[in-house]
């Protein structure tokens, strides 16, 4: 390969450590700098710990429904400390796995805060060590956004990191923000007996997903006992003994709710402040680094990936962007495509989608929509999880699939078929005539496609 390339990766999260491993496999000499814990937000304070807590909640739900399957569990109780300990064990195990992977590839890992001295030099602030590299990949991630209102900080007010470090369950909780993180937090607490209210500023929960699917999810969680206010405009938080009161406007009327804990779930902000971006001339806009379709910044040889570039702040997007950055840093020209990126929500029912929402598709195309409800799926009936549907949107003239949206059991696993198909520009007919195993939930995808191509087998 000629002269050995040196690459410095700033950030050990999903945008950083997979990129470091990929670079090492391609023959680079790699240094990875992480100021906190390897695995970043996803592994330590996001994807993994929240899914562990959701799984504990799902076990509780299964026990409650056991008699439907002919199994008598009697009284049950759960241990919140044990649930949190299991979450921590899963995180530690995976973080240890990341450390071993990096060591196996002989990647030098530095624990410290990195800043840029010039386009080829990274300095570690704690030790003043300077690292010269041919290429630099910035993957510094993001941190929880703050709510800029009166009383938005103080005792009893938690961000997502604080939520995952709780020592005991509150009796009541208000979640400000009804996006992906907010609804997952709400279901975790609800399943463990907490009285939960979600306050969301926008018209629907999960802004940005298909409106029909969002409304179906909202209906489901309301039926579970979670109170939801959409189009709720928060004015202030009033600090009080024994809990805080959230003041907001709903349907043009002032409202307030007192709760033991208030959990802020209002998004995340890219981490740029320690990079020295302005001094070396790195272009940034609205708090995010500006990159081209090769993930390269305005300074040749410096690339960026993950939450620090904004856009779709998802773990799997960060991995893909990091790989794209490495390919280009190593001289293999490639571009990043966002055409078929899945979004997953791990509530029960799960939600997953890829491609255009129906509202978007209508603006650009003459479309057809096929829907198949899970109540008509044999496997879903066996599981006693019949709520939800598969929804497929295709372009009418040629039949190309433009979007797939699923709400129901194992939606987050099922969406992979749609991602692969859309990546290969499949048509609804391709999907409808692919043989699916029976009885499975995946038949719902086939049946929804058949609704576009003449009619599903198991629908009148």
pLDDT at 371: 97
Would strands 343-345 and 302-304 be described as parallel, antiparallel, or unpaired?
A: unpaired
- 227 occurs within a structural domain: yes
* Contact (Cβ atoms closer than 8 angstroms) between residue 5 and residue 135: yes
Ramachandran class of 27: left when φ > 0, alpha when ψ lies in -120 to 50, beta otherwise: left
- 335 occurs within a structural domain: no
| Adjacent-strand bridge partners of 454 | none
Encode pLDDT of 199-221 as tens digits: 999 999 999 999 999 999 999 99
- 457 occurs within a structural domain: no
In this structure, the answer to whether residues 284 and 176 fall within a common structural domain is no
In this structure, the answer to whether residues 277 and 354 fall within a common structural domain is no
DSSP state of 376: G
Encode pLDDT of 265-293 as tens digits: 998 999 988 898 888 999 999 999 999 99
Encode pLDDT of 45-93 as tens digits: 999 999 999 999 999 999 999 999 999 988 889 999 999 999 999 999 9
Contacts for 10 with CB less than 8 Å, ≥ 6 apart: 16, 33, 114, 122, 136, 137, 138, 139, 140, 275
In this structure, the answer to whether residues 130 and 274 fall within a common structural domain is yes
- 337 occurs within a structural domain: no
In this structure, the answer to whether residues 221 and 188 fall within a common structural domain is yes
In this structure, the answer to whether residues 167 and 251 fall within a common structural domain is yes
What's the average model confidence in pLDDT over 296-306? Answer: 97
Q: Residue 40 sits in a domain of what CATH number?
A: 3.50.50.60
More reliable by pLDDT, 150 or 104? 104
| Residues identified as active-site | 438
The share of the chain scoring above pLDDT 90, in percent, equals 90
CA distance 195 to 179: 19
In this structure, the answer to whether residues 133 and 208 fall within a common structural domain is no
In this structure, the answer to whether residues 16 and 113 fall within a common structural domain is yes
Sorting pLDDT into bands at 50, 70 and 90, what band is 3? low
* Contact (Cβ atoms closer than 8 angstroms) between residue 232 and residue 247: no
Number of domains making up the chain: 3
In this structure, the answer to whether residues 22 and 123 fall within a common structural domain is yes
* Contact (Cβ atoms closer than 8 angstroms) between residue 385 and residue 379: no
In this structure, the answer to whether residues 275 and 262 fall within a common structural domain is no
In this structure, the answer to whether residues 198 and 233 fall within a common structural domain is yes
CA distance 55 to 74: 21
In this structure, the answer to whether residues 139 and 11 fall within a common structural domain is yes
Encode pLDDT of 185-200 as tens digits: 999 999 999 999 999 9
* Contact (Cβ atoms closer than 8 angstroms) between residue 19 and residue 31: no
> Range of 439's domain?
343-452
Sorting pLDDT into bands at 50, 70 and 90, what band is 1? very low
Encode pLDDT of 425-455 as tens digits: 999 999 999 999 999 999 999 999 999 998 8
- 90 occurs within a structural domain: yes
pLDDT at 273: 86
In this structure, the answer to whether residues 348 and 435 fall within a common structural domain is yes
Q: Which helix (H) or strand (E) holds 122?
A: strand 121-124
Last residue in a domain, options 266, 286, 301:
266
- 334 occurs within a structural domain: no
Task: Say whether pLDDT at 40 is over 90.
Answer: yes
């Amino acid at each position: 390969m000629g002269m050995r390339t040196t690459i410095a990766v700033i950030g050990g999260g999903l945008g950083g450590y997979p990129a470091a491993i990929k670079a090492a496999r391609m023959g680079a000499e790699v240094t990875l700098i992480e100021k906190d814990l390897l695995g970043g937000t996803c592994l330590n304070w996001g994807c993994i710990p929240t899914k562990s807590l959701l799984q504990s909640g799902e076990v509780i739900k299964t026990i409650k429904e056991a008699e439907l399957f002919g199994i008598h569990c009697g009284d049950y109780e759960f241990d919140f400390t044990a649930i949190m300990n299991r979450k921590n064990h899963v995180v530690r195990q995976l973080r240890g796995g990341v450390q071993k992977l990096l060591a196996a590839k002989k990647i030098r890992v530095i624990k410290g805060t990195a800043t840029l001295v010039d386009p080829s030099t990274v300095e570690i602030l704690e030790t003043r060590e300077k690292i010269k590299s041919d290429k630099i990949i910035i993957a510094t991630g993001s941190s929880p956004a703050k709510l800029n209102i009166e009383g938005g900080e103080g005792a009893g007010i938690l961000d997502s990191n604080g939520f995952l470090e709780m020592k005991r369950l509150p009796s009541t909780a208000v979640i400000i923000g009804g996006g992906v993180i907010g609804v997952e937090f709400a279901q975790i607490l609800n399943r463990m007996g907490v009285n939960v209210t979600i306050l969301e500023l926008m018209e629907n929960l999960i802004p940005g997903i298909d409106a029909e699917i969002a409304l179906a999810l909202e209906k489901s969680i309301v039926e579970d006992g979670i109170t939801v206010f959409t189009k709720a405009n928060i004015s202030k938080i009033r600090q009080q003994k024994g809990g805080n009161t959230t003041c907001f406007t709903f349907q043009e009327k002032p409202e307030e709710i007192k709760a033991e804990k208030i959990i802020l779930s209002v998004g995340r902000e890219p981490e740029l402040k320690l990079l020295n971006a302005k001094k070396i001339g790195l272009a940034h806009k609205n708090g995010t680094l500006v990159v081209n379709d090769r993930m390269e910044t305005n300074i040749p040889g410096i690339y960026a990936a993950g939450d620090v570039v904004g856009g779709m702040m998802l773990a799997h997007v960060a991995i893909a962007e990091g790989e794209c950055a490495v390919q280009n840093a190593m001289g293999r020209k490639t571009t990043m495509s966002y055409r078929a990126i899945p979004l997953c929500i791990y509530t029960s029912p799960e939600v997953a989608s890829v491609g255009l929402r129906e509202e978007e598709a209508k603006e650009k195309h003459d479309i057809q929509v096929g829907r198949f409800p899970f109540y008509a799926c044999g496997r879903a009936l066996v599981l006693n999880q019949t709520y939800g549907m598969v929804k497929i949107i295709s372009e009418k003239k040629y039949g190309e699939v433009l979007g797939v949206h699923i709400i129901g059991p194992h939606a987050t696993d099922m969406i992979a078929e749609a991602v692969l198909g859309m990546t290969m520009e499949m048509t609804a007919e391709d999907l409808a005539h692919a043989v699916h195993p029976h009885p499975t939930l995946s038949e719902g995808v086939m049946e929804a496609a058949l609704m576009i191509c003449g009619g599903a087998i198991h629908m009148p």
